[in-house]
Chain A
Amino acid sequence: QITLKESGPALVKPTQTLTLTCTFSGFSVNTDGVGVAWIRQPPGKALEWLSLIYWDDDKRYSPSMKSRATITKDSSKNQVVLTMTNVDPTDTATYFCAQGLSSKSFSYDSWGQGTLVTVSS
Chain B
Amino acid sequence: QSMLTQAPSVSAAPGQKVTISCSGKSSNFASNSVSWYQQLPGTAPKLLIYENNKRPSGIPDRFSGSKSGTSAILVISGLQTGDEADYYCGTWDTTVNAFYVFGSGTKLTVL
Question: Interface residue tally of chain A, by bracket?
Answer: 20 to 34
Chain A residues closer than 8 Å to B103, beta-carbon distance:
46
By a beta-carbon cutoff of 8 Å, the part of chain A in contact with chain B is 37, 39, 46-49, 52, 60-63, 96, 104-109, 111-114
Known interface pairs A46-B88, A47-B88, A96-B44; A105-B102 also in contact (CB < 8 Å): no
A108 (CB) vs chain B CBs: closest residue: B47
A81 to B43, CA, bound (A): 22
By a beta-carbon cutoff of 8 Å, the part of chain B in contact with chain A is 2, 32-33, 35, 37, 39, 44-47, 50-51, 54, 56, 88, 90, 92, 97-105
A52 pairs with B100, CB closer than 8 A: yes
Nearest CB on A from B110, distance (A): 20
A46 pairs with B2, CB closer than 8 A: yes
Question: Helix, strand, loop or mixed for chain B's interface?
Answer: strand
A96 to B44, CA, bound (A): 8
Chain B residues closer than 8 Å to A111, beta-carbon distance:
44-46
Known interface pairs A108-B47, A111-B45; A60-B97 also in contact (CB < 8 Å): yes
B51 pairs with A48, CB closer than 8 A: no
A49 to B97, CA, bound (A): 14
B90 pairs with A107, CB closer than 8 A: yes
Chain A residues closer than 8 Å to B32, beta-carbon distance:
105
Which of B33, B56, B99 contacts A61, CB < 8 Å?
B99
